[in-house]
Structure 1
Amino acid sequence: MTTISHLPAPADPPYEPWEGEAEALAAAAGAGRRAAAWVRSLPGPPAPTPLSVWFAQHLPEAVESVMGALDPQDCDRMGPDGRPVQGAGGADPEMMETLSAVARVVTEACWLTLDQQVRLLVVASAVTGAVQLLTNDPGSAILHGLLAQQCALLDHAARPDGAAWAPSGAP
């Protein structure tokens, strides 16, 4: 009789953060908080509707939650069995679903100006893009400033209403 014993799968090497990772993630979380605050500040319709409550509560929660949970360790990779594992960038799937719904429902928010509707689309897209950057290539996202560029898009879209606004630290 022959006994076959399987060797354990090799352990993943310990995670070593990218240079500037902590700062990049802190900046992303800050951009998410500012964007969520802007979404919460948008006017509501004369009479609350389920959609207006969704825009006032669920959408800003998703923006803030996802940007605050970004995790470069949760990237696309090969599993121990050699199969590809799709990363989530640290984002909760339910929160990502909330962000994806913006494109389907923003035109129903007729109490908002067209500018505000477009900026909501950009906010949802920038947050989703930040997650995708980290899942696809966290090194480039952090080391080459791609995550910072997504945050700049997010800050620009979520600027307070009015023309005379610039992000803190900008000229």
Structure 2
Amino acid sequence: MTIAYLPGPPDDVPLYEPWAGEPEVLAEAAEAGRRAAAWIRSLPAPPAPRPVGTWLAVALPGAVESATGSLDPAQCDRMGPDGRLIEGNGGMDAGTASTLAIVPCVLSDVDWLTPDQHLRLMAVASVVTGIARLLADDPGTAILHGQVTRMCATLDHATRPDHPGLASEFEQEI
């Protein structure tokens, strides 16, 4: 294997230049994350205090806000100086990723919520993780082609306010 180095010191090459529209897309994602966190906080508390209730009221919405508020396309997959791939994280730290990853496992303990709320919580964790992964894998495509914007729309749909008295179109058809 041959390794060729570019001429000049590494300081001559800019490490990252923002994409057109990047600040607006990141602001949109942060706002969608704040709305999602507010929805999670609005979910009913358990009938009796328990640790999973605190996790749902504090840790999960905090992770959603942290992940969407710290998105960073500069933290994308890249080659290191030694030629090895450095896997990016899109700006989401490992602790936040871990909190979002355990959502499907924790839902069995959140038995006071409805199956619809369980599904929507899984959607939130998946979408937020997906936005960071999109930015890590290919930030240009994710930003310029509206993928992050579409993911934010999905996040908003999953966290729309609950309307307990209204049946969904699907339930009305049955």
- TM-score, length basis structure 1: 0.88
In structure 2, relative to structure 1, the CA distance for the partners of 1:9 and 1:104 (3 Å cut) is farther
Could you tell me which residue of structure 2 aligns to residue 18 of structure 1? 19
What one-letter code is carried by the residue in structure 2 that aligns with 1:10? P
Q: Which runs of 5 or more residues in structure 1 are unaligned? A: 1-6, 165-171
Could you tell me which residue of structure 1 aligns to residue 3 of structure 2? none
Match of 2:32, SS state, is helix
RMSD after superposition? 1.6
What one-letter code is carried by the residue in structure 1 that aligns with 2:119? V
Match of 2:128, SS state, is helix
Give, in angstroms, the shift of residue 24 of structure 1: 0.2
1:28-53 alpha-carbon deviations (Å, 9 max, x no partner): 00000000000000001111100111
Could you tell me which residue of structure 2 aligns to residue 73 of structure 1? 74
1:121-170 alpha-carbon deviations (Å, 9 max, x no partner): 00000000001000000001000000011111111111110159xxxxxx
Aligned mates of 1:148, 1:77 — CA distance in 2: 24
- Listed as ranges, the matches of 1:45-64 within 5 Å are 45-64=46-65
- TM-score, length basis structure 2: 0.87
Aligned mates of 1:29, 1:54 — CA distance in 2: 21
Match of 1:71, SS state, is coil
- Structure 1: 4+ residue segments shifted above 6 A: none
Aligned mates of 2:85, 2:9 — CA distance in 1: 15
- Listed as ranges, the matches of 1:116-131 within 5 Å are 116-131=117-132
Identity of aligned residues (%): 58
Aligned mates of 2:87, 2:118 — CA distance in 1: 31
Answer yes or no: is the 8 Å Cα contact 1:66–1:95 preserved in 2: yes
Q: Which runs of 5 or more residues in structure 2 are unaligned? A: 1-6, 168-174
Alignment pair present for 1:28 and 2:46: no
What one-letter code is carried by the residue in structure 2 that aligns with 1:49? R
What one-letter code is carried by the residue in structure 2 that aligns with 1:19? A
Aligned mates of 2:32, 2:44 — CA distance in 1: 21
